[in-house]
Amino acid sequence: MEARRNKAIKINENGKKLLLKDDLSGTVEKINSELLNSLIEKGYLPVLSVPPALSDDFKAVNVDADFASSLVASSLNASHLLFLSNVPGLLRDSSNPNSLISKVSLSNFDEVLSFAKARMKKKLLAAKHAAENGVSFVLISNSNNNAPVHNALSGNYSGTLVTNE
């Protein structure tokens, strides 16, 4: 993965707004899908540890893992993308695990985005990106479920399914 480093980010420290420079964070700009496809065609299973990515001067850049995963899935024309987390999926009420929103489509995405808090918002935006770019099955689910990957791939899943409908 190639990334662009942020020149500076805004932070709030002790009530003061500051610019933090050289924090090594950034944004993924390119996925080397040719390399990944070559490895897959040769029978290898690439395991990506995100972050980091590399900048144009070959320095490690801390990037958002959810968005990077979305870019990898769409660049490889993947049919499935699983976001495993410590929560059941997108919740209408973050304090109530029984308030799961089981399906989000692109047509009602803006309506449900308001329920996403903190990291779930970034995860949901990454899921939307994947769905918009050809990934037909994007699931946000709890990694503590029994056999979450097997269940997702066999259709016996729980969580929030994001579709491109």
| 81, burial (CB in 10 Å: exposed 0-12, middle 13-18, buried 19+) | buried
**First-residue to last-residue Cα distance in the chain:** 29
* One domain for residues 84 and 153: yes
Confidence of residue 13 (pLDDT cuts 50, 70, 90): confident
* One domain for residues 158 and 90: yes
**CATH at residue 104:** 3.40.1160.10
Could you tell me the pTM of the whole model? 0.83
* One domain for residues 95 and 115: yes
Tell me the per-residue pLDDT of 131-152, one tens digit each, with 9 for 90 and over: 999 999 999 999 998 899 999 9
* One domain for residues 54 and 85: no
Break the chain down into helix, strand, coil percent, rounded to 5.
30, 30, 40
* One domain for residues 45 and 93: no
Enclosing domain of residue 17:
1-63
Tell me the per-residue pLDDT of 18-38, one tens digit each, with 9 for 90 and over: 776 666 777 888 898 999 999
* One domain for residues 57 and 76: no
At which of 42, 63, 84 does a domain end? 63
Q: How many domains does the chain have?
A: 2
At which of 23, 41, 63 does a domain end? 63
Look at residue 52 and tell me whether its pLDDT is greater than 90: no
At which of 39, 63, 87 does a domain end? 63
pLDDT of residue 51: 63
* One domain for residues 56 and 122: no
For the segment 40-46, the average pLDDT, to the nearest whole number, is 92
